[in-house]
Amino acid sequence: MDALAMIMLTIPIFYPVATALGFHPIWFGVAIVLVTEMGVITPPVGVNVYVVHGIAKDIPLETIFKGVAPFVLALLACVAILLVFPQIVLFLPGLMM
């Protein structure tokens, strides 16, 4: 499933729940985008990985998935940091108000 389709299907369900639980809407949007990015590069779906495999047919799919692993770890670290320090996401929007 494409990232836009995932976002369009999940936001109407989880946004009211997140705001009712007290999460900031901007923080929730950033978190959803990061998790969706993880979803399009991880197996078994890994849509972006299959696109790369379609372009570079001589590289095995397993090698491409192994090459994506550092990016998945970086996204996991980023989500963990944003969970612990949500002020990072809200810093720039806070300057605008």
Q: What is the DSSP string of 4-58?
A: HHHHHHHHHHHHHHHHHTT--HHHHHHHHHHHHHHHTTSTTT-HHHHHHHHH-TT
pTM: 0.83
pLDDT > 70 in the chain, percent: 100
Pair 89, 27: CB distance under 8 Å = yes
Domain, as residue range, for 55: 3-96
Mean pLDDT of the chain: 91
pLDDT at position 84: 94
Number of domains in the chain: 1
Mean pLDDT of the region 13-41: 93
49-78: pLDDT as tens digits: 999 999 999 999 999 999 999 999 999 999
